[in-house]
A and B are shown apart, each in its own frame.
Chain A
């Protein structure tokens, strides 16, 4: 910028000169032998910070535009939770169509690469850490900056923990019913259900173990499972007379699973993969072929019979069984008088937890979730037909408190830093 080249006036610090982060770098520069230190200094440069900020601005902006065409999760996973992203030109054109009146009929192809959220996030973190490592100096003047940056790191850590360990599922309860099952709709499992007198026993195999050709064995089950074919995404078709059908028993005799390409990041509609698999069951004792079954997310449980005992087989979203239960006493959907504007959604539930000896009534409503044993239950949805069933979003996030703390810490740090500057400035003006 020409600002830097033309300096007829000396750059004396002004009244409100900030605690300049640059000055303390001076002593470090004298010892410039160590190449590691020099690399660290380069990484610690504020110039890099500004460049990263600018790139982040663009990334977030493009990531917002992209949501017009692609679903929010697709965008999050390709733009913000990945190392790089190919940004198509079409959303940029769309911006021009909305704001600048370009013809709606125009289309462009092509895309350009851009650093993704992970790259920028990690670089910013390293930049920040390096800056503090190089210029670390404990003084009152810098205390605010230290505190607020610490708060920011805490927030990033919280987001990381959330990304890796948080579990999101949902629980569906109809009025008068009781449930202790949480379904996580972003993971799939193969479940073998052994009906019991009072309780069913479920043996679940996570989808990641269902590789083609793998043979899976479990002591609980009287048969082994061999994965004949695994399809990440599939659709169902009626079997033609000439087509070879791998299935020899069960639902697979009437329907054929056809492999589909995986839902890609640039898909225009928000779609989910619907996996299917052909599995061959073999008796454990006698090695008898019990038949090849088609299991699919398209199906409900299918009954099978082994050694005269009944089992149920299902490829389904991952289920969690909780040691406590919720009974839905009443779901309410209140509207403002004389309108269809929703005023409130709420579920009155009875929480029963024998282990903790709890048995109480709770009202879950918008902005007032129930927190119990590390899990949080939010009013998310409801049975649209009857308005007598509720859908609770269930979130287990070990880091849920971190944003609260980091917000307070950063705010405190900023207040301290800016406040100190302001006081100094006003004092200088008065003096």
Chain B
């Protein structure tokens, strides 16, 4: 057993490190395939900062699709950047039809019947507008060059360009057809082993990629689409492409469905014109979908994002690929030319060309803008690593280890959880540091980063507490908070760029580093105190239930009800925790699928049923069973764990001390943070305190913590009261963190459609339940496990092996 305390944590730590190393490992494709991951690292300028095209594609896809990957029409899962490339390729093919031709010579302009333009740029449609002239122009290619008049000779260039474009379009179409043929027979081909995987490099057409998530019944009906699992639809489906026609070369618009689409656009336009307050849910969803369609269209027109860097580096002079092509920049701007070649190679399915061009472009970029490219490549690495996602999963593992350590195999499991938590906190810290490097900012700049930071601070604080008390209580709290904040961050990250640039008034690293950081740490400490308090209430219930069993006479009347409630609470708290854990894992791992009734039942029903049966059994046992005699103070076997969980006099004090210490810390941080906020306000608009909702929220936390401390100093509360009030502190902090932000949203008439508001409400309810359990008139809760049982039994129950705290398990003596 003693050895287990050494090797178990060692194994946990090594496994965790290996896990992270595996996650970090580069996601490069094999050398003979298209290096999409290299393309993903090319820079774009979006939202005011230079970032890898990977980040841009992920965010755009996330907004439409709620996930960063998608399924193509062959049901292959694809990364966001491939979707982006597919759109760009389509755009490039289209641009052959619409990009301007250069007709410099005024004579030729005249010959073609074009209005005179000094820049000499005309779209192919303009050039070919006059049927007679265009025939004459194209016939030039078939004639002997010597036989041409001087004007005709000059116009020959234009004709050749048009011809070349037509040829290219043809090549693209052939490449596409080949591709489609491979995909269509993919299963057969693979079975026969005829083709290597690299033929798959060019995925199907983007218009068949199911990237639009439409989960509103009315909207689906409006578009004449059928609800299906996942609610993801392609633009072809919306426009009216039957699924069977998916392999057709040229998309044909289904008359019927196209009309539905037109109607939808009409409806969306109407909704857009309505004032925001009057929009209903369908209006809002329609406007959202229209916005997504617009983004899609812009990217497909090569006009969605600034991809072509300016010549001076930095953030100046960037252009969209479309603008660069329209202005004929390929000749003068090497970046535009490189990008065009890359996209062309992709469109033609030419793996070698694609890889060569991407590498060449990378090389020139590294030379021209080394600082930006370094950030961009780190950001790409960060995107692929997804450290917070992996932390999310491993915090769940740590939580399970720490919880189980309360019951069996105490010290080895506790140390394993601790070792795991230490590895996690190291990764968490590195990830935070990398984010700071990428944004050039202190850790907290928006709601997303506040979640990440609160998680980090909470885990760190809990690890310190755990080092002092070594009873695995702080470990449980650490992993719960780590897990919960990572989940919240995951949710918040779905709405856009998490490293966005800052509004003018926030553009001050000094105040972000002082005020924002301190006030966020104040939130952190208040949450830690509140969750420690929840553990206290849970253990208190165990103490009470145990005391009821050790009493000779069966409880009657009100006592019986209280007993039942205590048993129910004792089981409901961990059950609720496990349910929340499962729910969060489901939401994240299923990439934002809503929880259907079936899944919810599968997850929850067995647990709830087991819970109800257990409560019933325990209750019956107490009511029906014979009273324990003086010699037999053993608890019934199914309640054996109560002896371990029940508080002892000293463990109760220790836990209260932990809560108290953290509340002191929280008071200090939240006060200083709040006042620093006032000083910042004074610095930026001359008003120290403005009573706005966010300020008020921070003030509430300060006053709440002060209230707890004064109530305790005044002797109005002891351990239990402290715990109950600390949980109220949780509610206040949740209000300040998220609740105040929802008030404004609530002004919109579509009202209760907000996950965050729902989350707040659920959190408050859960906390109120714990407070309710804590406020029960529990007559026996001070019947500590180390005191004599309430009955006249002489033999004291042995103290719980864990949770008595103290270095090396000696415990501290009160007084």
A-B interaction: yes
Inter-subunit contact B716/A47 (CB<8 Å) = yes
**Which stretch, A59-67, A191-199, A224-232, A259-267, touches the partner chain B?**
A59-67
Q: Could you say which residues of chain A place their CB within 8 Å of the CB of B742?
A: 98-99
Nearest A residue to B777 by beta-carbon distance?
A2
Q: Please, how many angstroms separate the alpha-carbon atoms of A11 and B784 in the complex?
A: 14
Inter-subunit contact A11/B718 (CB<8 Å) = yes
Is A12 close to B, CB under 8 A? yes
Q: Could you say which residues of chain A place their CB within 8 Å of the CB of B606?
A: none
Nearest B residue to A104 by beta-carbon distance?
B751
Q: Please, how many angstroms separate the alpha-carbon atoms of A83 and B649 in the complex?
A: 46
With A53-B703, A337-B318 in contact, is A404–B714 under 8 Å at CB? no
B-side interface residues, number (CB < 8 Å): 98
Nearest B residue to A402 by beta-carbon distance?
B688
**Which stretch, A14-22, A268-276, A322-330, touches the partner chain B?**
A14-22
Q: Please, how many angstroms separate the alpha-carbon atoms of A336 and B315 in the complex?
A: 8
**Which stretch, B67-75, B504-512, B531-539, B552-560, touches the partner chain A?**
B504-512
**Which stretch, A244-252, A339-347, A348-356, touches the partner chain B?**
A339-347
Interface centre among A99, A104, A369, A428 (most CB of B within 10 A): A99
Nearest B residue to A16 by beta-carbon distance?
B657
Inter-subunit contact B746/A94 (CB<8 Å) = yes
Is B592 close to A, CB under 8 A? no
Nearest A residue to B505 by beta-carbon distance?
A366
Q: Please, how many angstroms separate the alpha-carbon atoms of A14 and B813 in the complex?
A: 9
Binary B-proximity of A301-334 (CB < 8 A = 1, otherwise 0): 0000000000000000000000000000000000
Is A407 close to B, CB under 8 A? yes
Inter-subunit contact B814/A97 (CB<8 Å) = no
Inter-subunit contact B315/A337 (CB<8 Å) = yes
Binary A-proximity of B366-410 (CB < 8 A = 1, otherwise 0): 000000000000000000000000000000000000000000000
Q: Please, how many angstroms separate the alpha-carbon atoms of A410 and B706 in the complex?
A: 13
**Which stretch, B287-295, B626-634, B667-675, touches the partner chain A?**
B667-675
Binary A-proximity of B570-609 (CB < 8 A = 1, otherwise 0): 0000000000000000000000000000000000000000
Inter-subunit contact A68/B746 (CB<8 Å) = yes
Question: Which residues of chain A in 398-427 are interfacial with respect to chain B, using CB atoms and an 8 Å cutoff?
Answer: 400, 403-404, 406-407, 410-411, 414-415, 418, 421-422, 425-426
Task: Determine how close the nearest CB of chain B comes to the CB of A68; give it in whole angstroms.
Answer: 5
Q: Which of A98, A366, A378, A393 contacts B745 (CB 8 A)?
A: A98
Q: Could you say which residues of chain B place their CB within 8 Å of the CB of A16?
A: 657, 660-661
Task: Determine how close the nearest CB of chain A comes to the CB of B806; give it in whole angstroms.
Answer: 8
Q: Could you say which residues of chain B place their CB within 8 Å of the CB of A14?
A: 653, 656-657, 660, 814
**Which stretch, B46-54, B248-256, B441-449, B482-490, touches the partner chain A?**
B46-54
Task: Determine how close the nearest CB of chain B comes to the CB of A130; give it in whole angstroms.
Answer: 14
Question: Which residues of chain B in 669-727 are interfacial with respect to chain A, using CB atoms and an 8 Å cutoff?
Answer: 671-672, 675-676, 678-680, 682-693, 696-697, 699-700, 703-704, 706-707, 709-718, 720-721
Is A216 close to B, CB under 8 A? no
Inter-subunit contact B692/A367 (CB<8 Å) = no
Q: Could you say which residues of chain A place their CB within 8 Å of the CB of B713?
A: 18, 20-22, 46
Is B614 close to A, CB under 8 A? no
With A67-B693, A403-B678 in contact, is A57–B707 under 8 Å at CB? yes
Is A72 close to B, CB under 8 A? yes
Is B740 close to A, CB under 8 A? yes
Q: Could you say which residues of chain A place their CB within 8 Å of the CB of B744?
A: 68
Q: Could you say which residues of chain A place their CB within 8 Å of the CB of B704?
A: 53, 57
Nearest B residue to A342 by beta-carbon distance?
B504
Interface of chain B: mostly helix, strand, loop or mixed: helix
Task: Determine how close the nearest CB of chain A comes to the CB of B733; give it in whole angstroms.
Answer: 13
Q: Could you say which residues of chain B place their CB within 8 Å of the CB of A15?
A: 653, 657, 812, 814
Q: Which of A22, A380, A397 contacts B715 (CB 8 A)?
A: A22
Task: Determine how close the nearest CB of chain B comes to the CB of A71; give it in whole angstroms.
Answer: 11
Q: Could you say which residues of chain A place their CB within 8 Å of the CB of B757?
A: 98-99
Q: Which of B660, B710, B761, B779 contacts A50 (CB 8 A)?
A: B710
Q: Could you say which residues of chain A place their CB within 8 Å of the CB of B779?
A: 6
Q: Please, how many angstroms separate the alpha-carbon atoms of A343 and B710 in the complex?
A: 44
Task: Determine how close the nearest CB of chain B comes to the CB of A407; give it in whole angstroms.
Answer: 4
Is B783 close to A, CB under 8 A? yes
Inter-subunit contact B714/A22 (CB<8 Å) = yes
Inter-subunit contact A99/B761 (CB<8 Å) = yes
Q: Could you say which residues of chain B place their CB within 8 Å of the CB of A422?
A: 661
A-side interface residues, number (CB < 8 Å): 86
With A3-B720, A57-B703, A338-B46 in contact, is A418–B668 under 8 Å at CB? yes
Q: Please, how many angstroms separate the alpha-carbon atoms of A15 and B710 in the complex?
A: 18
Question: Which residues of chain B in 724-742 are interfacial with respect to chain A, using CB atoms and an 8 Å cutoff?
Answer: 732, 735, 739-740, 742
Q: Please, how many angstroms separate the alpha-carbon atoms of A415 and B775 in the complex?
A: 32
Q: Could you say which residues of chain A place their CB within 8 Å of the CB of B47?
A: 336, 338-339, 341
Q: Which of B468, B671, B688, B700 contacts A57 (CB 8 A)?
A: B700
Q: Please, how many angstroms separate the alpha-carbon atoms of A366 and B681 in the complex?
A: 11
Q: Could you say which residues of chain A place their CB within 8 Å of the CB of B720?
A: 3
Q: Could you say which residues of chain B place their CB within 8 Å of the CB of A8?
A: 782-783, 787
Q: Could you say which residues of chain B place their CB within 8 Å of the CB of A369?
A: 683-684, 686
Is B166 close to A, CB under 8 A? no
Q: Please, how many angstroms separate the alpha-carbon atoms of A61 and B688 in the complex?
A: 19
Q: Could you say which residues of chain A place their CB within 8 Å of the CB of B657?
A: 14-16, 425
Q: Could you say which residues of chain A place their CB within 8 Å of the CB of B749?
A: 104
Binary B-proximity of A373-400 (CB < 8 A = 1, otherwise 0): 0001010100000000000010101001
Binary A-proximity of B35-57 (CB < 8 A = 1, otherwise 0): 00000000001111100000000
Is B747 close to A, CB under 8 A? yes
Q: Could you say which residues of chain B place their CB within 8 Å of the CB of A407?
A: 672, 675-676, 679
Is A180 close to B, CB under 8 A? no
Inter-subunit contact A98/B751 (CB<8 Å) = yes
Q: Which of A7, A395, A411 contacts B686 (CB 8 A)?
A: A395
Is B316 close to A, CB under 8 A? yes
Q: Could you say which residues of chain B place their CB within 8 Å of the CB of A336?
A: 47-49, 315, 501
Is B815 close to A, CB under 8 A? yes
Could you tell me which B residues sit within 8 Å of A by CB distance?
45-49, 306, 315-316, 318, 468, 501, 503-505, 507-508, 511, 649, 653, 656-657, 660-661, 664-665, 667-668, 671-672, 675-676, 678-680, 682-693, 696-697, 699-700, 703-704, 706-707, 709-718, 720-721, 732, 735, 739-740, 742-747, 749, 751-752, 754, 757-758, 760-761, 764, 775, 777-779, 781-784, 787, 807, 812, 814-815
List 15 additional A-B contacts (Cβ < 8 Å) besides A20-B715, A47-B716, A65-B743.
A1-B721, A3-B720, A16-B657, A45-B714, A68-B746, A75-B691, A336-B47, A338-B45, A342-B504, A343-B507, A378-B684, A380-B685, A414-B668, A421-B664, A422-B661
Q: What are 5 of the A-B contact pairs (CB < 8 Å)?
A: A1-B721, A67-B743, A367-B680, A415-B668, A429-B812
A-B interface, 8 closest residue pairs, ranked by CB to CB distance from nearest: A336-B48, A46-B714, A98-B746, A395-B686, A337-B315, A53-B707, A101-B752, A407-B675
